[in-house]
Chains A and B, each alone.
Chain A
């Protein structure tokens, strides 16, 4: 297995006393696509939120590039800026498509012209070239998910986390997602996706991890 980018060691997360996740040891290789499968309530989304650094585990260690992750402050933000998540039903800001896609770039202090270029390229990548001036909320469900994907791609993340990327997508959008995801490892991006769409997920992934009741299935 190539060098792990993300490593979980004895990670436990509880919600109101109930154990949602308990992972003794799990590594995610750099530049690989890993699919996480499992029934509803298996802890898949919790795992993604921990990897996105949105949720801190109650116990255990999370290593990134072999180093312990900071718990808060500027260092945590710096790490978080290498990782991004596309949610199952992504939230688009009540603004233009262009503003949505460039949002993360603006946070990073990128200049306007460069932002526009990066956003346009990301939109073209998901088949939405020229959609920049449109209102994001007026798009179809599939187009909105593609804008969310473009918004993540514009950041050129080291890690892309995808929560049910194929759920509720029209055929065209699903094909776009599959094509884009398949090309990411070549750009050095590590992809971790949670999916019920076993066929698509297995076609894309170099590795499949199965969760059951918050634990790794044998």
Chain B
């Protein structure tokens, strides 16, 4: 018990001391995961909207595929991206392996099906009159689609927050394509895994607490936006 409590206490002291290494890791984690969510959302939000608002053959199958992809193991994504980016892989020439860019790519692939599935569910359950109403008031098809997104804004924001939660907490893909390089590709989760395996429980705990505080801050920001839009 002393080991645990002592670890937590040292972790809190480390946080309070503004240790540059811990804050560097925090900044990189935030930058990688936010970039990944933005990248994924650029494709996932329009796709979820398109699937949710239209009827076409094979739609049910597509929905099942996206729901299945929610269970995509992070190590499998890591493996595939590793295969693509490694020197012998088709995208090896880009020399992205073991860079933050590779981590953003892997995390975006992870967030993509989750955001798509949640946006799809949100626009499917939305009142079907939204797009029609916008059209009768003179909207173009694109403006009508925007109106649908605006009406589903709470759920879309929740989808983005869920995507962020998925990627900032994952460790498998980040370690495989990032390589956990100090001051370069070391994020919260890869650092916690490393420190704990090295036996430095306090450092791991400090990072763990920081990660929770960061997740809380992002969720508070999301909640604040939802309240303002009410």
Q: Is B62 an interface residue (CB 8 A)?
A: no
Q: Is B197 an interface residue (CB 8 A)?
A: no
Q: Is B135 an interface residue (CB 8 A)?
A: yes
Please encode chain A, from 93 to 113, with 1 for each CB lying within 8 Å of some chain B CB and 0 for all others: 110000000011001100000
Q: Is A90 an interface residue (CB 8 A)?
A: yes
Q: Residues of B contacting A87 with CB < 8 Å?
A: 129, 132-133, 136
Given A93-B150, A93-B151, are A151 and B137 neighbors across the interface (CB < 8 Å)?
yes
Q: Residues of A contacting B14 with CB < 8 Å?
A: none
Q: Is B55 an interface residue (CB 8 A)?
A: no
Q: Which of B5-13, B17-25, B138-146, B186-194 contacts A (4 or more CB under 8 A)?
A: B138-146
Contact (Cβ within 8 A) A107 B139: yes
Q: Is B147 an interface residue (CB 8 A)?
A: yes
Which residue on B lies nearest to A148, using beta carbons? B133
Contact (Cβ within 8 A) A91 B133: yes
- The distance in angstroms between the C-alpha atoms of A87 and B132, with both chains bound, is 10
The size bracket of the interface on B is 10 to 19
Which residue on A lies nearest to B135, using beta carbons? A54
Please encode chain B, from 111 to 153, with 1 for each CB lying within 8 Å of some chain A CB and 0 for all others: 0000000000000000101101111111110010001001100
Kindly provide the distance from the CB of B183 to the nearest chain A CB, expressed in whole angstroms.
47
Which residue on B lies nearest to A78, using beta carbons? B138
Contact (Cβ within 8 A) A155 B138: yes
Kindly provide the distance from the CB of A25 to the nearest chain B CB, expressed in whole angstroms.
26
Contact (Cβ within 8 A) A91 B130: yes
Q: Is A7 an interface residue (CB 8 A)?
A: no
Contact (Cβ within 8 A) B136 A81: no
Contact (Cβ within 8 A) B138 A107: yes
Q: Is A52 an interface residue (CB 8 A)?
A: yes
Contact (Cβ within 8 A) A104 B132: no
Q: Is A80 an interface residue (CB 8 A)?
A: yes
Q: Is A84 an interface residue (CB 8 A)?
A: yes
Q: Residues of B contacting A152 with CB < 8 Å?
A: 137
Contact (Cβ within 8 A) A94 B135: no
- The distance in angstroms between the C-alpha atoms of A152 and B136, with both chains bound, is 9
Q: Residues of B contacting A206 with CB < 8 Å?
A: none
Please encode chain A, from 61 to 100, with 1 for each CB lying within 8 Å of some chain B CB and 0 for all others: 0000000000000000100110011010011011000000
Which residue on B lies nearest to A104, using beta carbons? B137
Contact (Cβ within 8 A) B127 A84: no
Q: Residues of A contacting B129 with CB < 8 Å?
A: 87, 91
- The distance in angstroms between the C-alpha atoms of A108 and B135, with both chains bound, is 12
Contact (Cβ within 8 A) B147 A84: no
Kindly provide the distance from the CB of A142 to the nearest chain B CB, expressed in whole angstroms.
18
Kindly provide the distance from the CB of B147 to the nearest chain A CB, expressed in whole angstroms.
7
- The distance in angstroms between the C-alpha atoms of A91 and B143, with both chains bound, is 16
Contact (Cβ within 8 A) A52 B138: no
Kindly provide the distance from the CB of A107 to the nearest chain B CB, expressed in whole angstroms.
5
Q: Residues of B contacting A155 with CB < 8 Å?
A: 137-138
- The distance in angstroms between the C-alpha atoms of A85 and B139, with both chains bound, is 13
Q: Which of A52, A80, A87, A94 has the most CB of B within 10 A?
A: A94
Contact (Cβ within 8 A) A52 B136: yes
Kindly provide the distance from the CB of A46 to the nearest chain B CB, expressed in whole angstroms.
14
Which residue on B lies nearest to A73, using beta carbons? B140
Contact (Cβ within 8 A) A104 B138: yes
Kindly provide the distance from the CB of B156 to the nearest chain A CB, expressed in whole angstroms.
13
Q: Residues of A contacting B138 with CB < 8 Å?
A: 77, 80-81, 84, 104, 107-108, 155
Kindly provide the distance from the CB of B140 to the nearest chain A CB, expressed in whole angstroms.
5
The 10 closest A-B CB pairs, nearest first, are: A104-B137, A91-B129, A81-B138, A85-B136, A91-B133, A107-B138, A104-B138, A77-B140, A84-B136, A107-B139
15 contacts between A and B (CB under 8 A): A84-B137, A87-B129, A87-B136, A91-B127, A91-B130, A91-B132, A93-B133, A103-B134, A103-B137, A104-B138, A107-B139, A108-B138, A152-B137, A155-B137, A155-B138
- B residues neighboring A (CB under 8 Å): 127, 129-130, 132-140, 143, 147, 150-151
**Additional A-B contact list (16), CB under 8 Å, known A54-B135, A77-B140, A108-B138:** A52-B136, A80-B138, A81-B138, A85-B136, A87-B132, A87-B136, A91-B132, A91-B133, A103-B137, A104-B138, A107-B138, A107-B139, A107-B143, A151-B137, A152-B137, A155-B137
